[in-house]
């Protein structure tokens, strides 16, 4: 029975990841979101959405969903994306990561 439960958890995780990855073309943020993300991550790029899309596509990305948001842990940061609108809400460095 334990094996079956583990397989279900893995399958659910893959479905969540697949759902976000399948909609990366809809990823966007607000003008204030761009400013906030650039400041929080010290990014030197004008294409914040493109940077986030590439980070999320990374094989190193760990994507989880909690309620209405996805949380993507990658590159020493956490990107928060609304699961319904695909809006990048914020991104910040992970605690302990520099």
In this predicted model, what pLDDT tens digit does every residue of 14-63 receive, in sequence order?
A: 555 578 999 999 999 999 999 999 999 999 999 999 999 999 999 999 99
Q: Flag whether pLDDT at 98 surpasses 90.
A: no
Q: How far is Cα 57 from Cα 18, in angstroms, rounded to an integer? A: 10
pLDDT for residue 94 = 87
pTM for the whole structure: 0.80
Q: How far is Cα 55 from Cα 68, in angstroms, rounded to an integer? A: 20
Q: Flag whether pLDDT at 80 surpasses 50.
A: yes
pLDDT (mean) for 84-89: 97
């Amino acid at each position: 029975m334990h094996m079956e439960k583990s397989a279900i958890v893995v399958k659910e995780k893959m479905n969540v990841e697949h759902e976000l990855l399948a909609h990366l073309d809809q990823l966007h943020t607000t003008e204030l979101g761009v400013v906030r993300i650039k400041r929080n991550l010290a990014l030197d790029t004008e294409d914040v959405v493109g940077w986030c899309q590439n980070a999320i596509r990374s094989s190193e990305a760990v994507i989880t969903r909690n309620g209405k948001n996805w949380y993507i842990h990658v590159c020493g940061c956490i990107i928060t994306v609304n699961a319904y609108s695909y809006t990048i809400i914020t991104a910040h460095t992970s605690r302990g990561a520099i």
